[in-house]
Chain A
């Protein structure tokens, strides 16, 4: 008994250890290690990155409005719950630092859910370099493109959900389930780029305009978008407050803070006329990134085909045309089998998809079989579209070809590492679909 007590006393070293180390954290009140309360930090939920005409980075931070009371809190669902701040600088960290200076608070990126790239972003190199080494950033953060500027998307006031970035993330998650969005976690992009000499594919998020003329009209189709071009002055948010020479570095800067406290604030009316029109976002297509640069845009159908090929579809509704009537079929479960073989110097990848369907109508067995066959043809054409676009047209490895070669034919994989372009030209992907009723 006595011995146990002694042991228990000795065990006190653990709480003593924890207490000792963490109590030291409150000792230093100045300089680099100055302690900050939670309200002295900007909890960043989303980051937007755009490129200016002169090649500088415009970084937009979206954060939760932190006021405890008032109409600007998440408690009032009719009011927006996020604020944004933007700055322009030569590098991303410098722009973030200027945002911090403006607000008088330290930015905390550990809760970031989304990194949004404006269509003006031409080179992912500095962006990935920053995020790989950024302190505390989660590897599960979503990274995607937008067809306008990231700043515009993040400035949109969403009145549903706890905060705007959460709504955007949910849209991505839902789109990934039904295959309309590709995988977009930061780690997956880094992984793809590492394995394929800079190739990945990023979904594009767009805003739905709620015009008076047509309530759910979507914006221009993705085929008209040219990524890698900087925005015209006209498309910039005219109502944002600009100040030149802000921040300590004296670089060109444009700052907009809405609802933030401390620092130099501007009113929240910036861009309000446009913001009021927008009610929702949607994912439409994806950008193929090659050599860490945006190369071309995939359509929505091509992305669905890609998702089927990469086993990324959990549930997708397929339209099957039966005579004159259009029927919807749900691809409820997709199983993928792949094989790699060499035929006359061609690398043949056979993809066999076994898809189980769920029908939204009562059908006879014969009708089910026919509908399933039609749906399989539709899926096959979607897959073929994706292959034609990415592999034949852009010669881009977004089908995990590197991984298949690595697992199946190491000699070819070694060649792939040396010269991926040449190997990809020799690849044929054959898709066969086995519908299960």
Chain B
């Protein structure tokens, strides 16, 4: 089995989350104060929520959650594998709609959205086909590009930041609880980590905390830059992160949104590839007789086919599916199942 490093795992998990910080705001519910409080509380909850998976990893470092369950109960194992694949398809569906909305709102005359989504699906299929190592290396480059472009944008905006732009509201309990709930629905690391941890060479358990710490830092920095620069425009902006690039200018380049755009595309591609890979690994664990790449093709087609009606009807936000259904899947697969199966005897080669 080809393995990836601790750092690559951190980057993979971080990128899978940061996509929503770039995109989720079109459908945001409350003001930035509640968002940041909700986000902070949710991150603390997430730190606790991953403990069962880490215990599971310590006991079975070479087996993903599907393999662990399959060995204990074949039927339940198969069911778990199918549910994992289904959850992956649903999360990809949400990603396609959000990314489609970004393309639709920002470049309406560029390409039909269904074609852009199709291109991302096709390229992600190829990346997942190449395996975790290729995705991890691409993720490294994407992360470097993302950080570099973001630093350039921040430097260009330094002169435009002002504390007088900061207007805060006293947070309300309802808004914060909604933000926690919404933030939880974006925690797709719960879907990725239980399947991918056997691929990490060392310290897999710490990698998820590394990703959470990185996420915390970046979301705080992005939010601070947005608030200090955009002020109350943040409340009406469709894509505040992208607007930072629109507003930033240097002596040579008038606007820097073009710097952020490739990062956006690459992050969407990395996340889709990872989810396809997770679906493929899950299904090939449950159905060993079928070639794994057949599942990969099926998952890609299914994810695209499921997303197509929404994209064609320009129905970008499906509240119940995006929040409730996906959150339930994440909690069941990423918290409850590991909690049930983390007890009992572990493998001989338990991780330290």
Contacts and interface: CB of A to CB of B under 8 A. Distances in A.
**B and A form one assembly:** yes
Interface stretch (B63-71, B166-174, B197-205, B291-299): B166-174
B110 A33 contact: yes
A29 interface: no
Contact of A191 (B109, B110, B231): B231
A402 B110 contact: no
Contacts of B163: 407
Given A139-B243, A410-B170, A194 B138 contact: no
Interface of B: 106, 108-112, 115-116, 119-120, 122-123, 126-127, 130-131, 133-134, 137-138, 141, 163-168, 170, 230-233, 235-236, 243, 246-247, 249, 254-255, 262, 265-266, 269
A21 interface: yes
B119 A24 contact: yes
A246 B4 CA distance: 65
Contacts of B165: 191, 403
**A-side binding surface: helix, strand, loop or mixed?**
helix
B321 to A, nearest CB: 26
B269 A17 contact: yes
A304 B50 CA distance: 58
A194 B254 contact: no
B170 A140 contact: no
Nearest to B126: A13
B266 A14 contact: yes
A33 B126 CA distance: 27
Contact of A139 (B168, B233, B235, B269): B233
A21 B133 contact: no
Contact of B130 (A10, A25, A106): A10
A138 B257 CA distance: 10
A-B CB proximity, top 9 nearest: A10-B134, A194-B232, A191-B231, A139-B247, A17-B123, A403-B164, A21-B119, A10-B130, A191-B232
A178 to B, nearest CB: 17
A400 B166 CA distance: 11
A11 B138 contact: yes
A108 B235 CA distance: 26
Interface in A368-395: none
A370 to B, nearest CB: 34
A110 to B, nearest CB: 7
A7 B134 contact: yes
A341 B247 CA distance: 35
A407 B111 contact: no
Given A13-B134, A28-B115, 9 more contacts: A11-B141, A13-B130, A14-B266, A33-B110, A187-B230, A190-B232, A406-B168, A407-B163, A407-B166
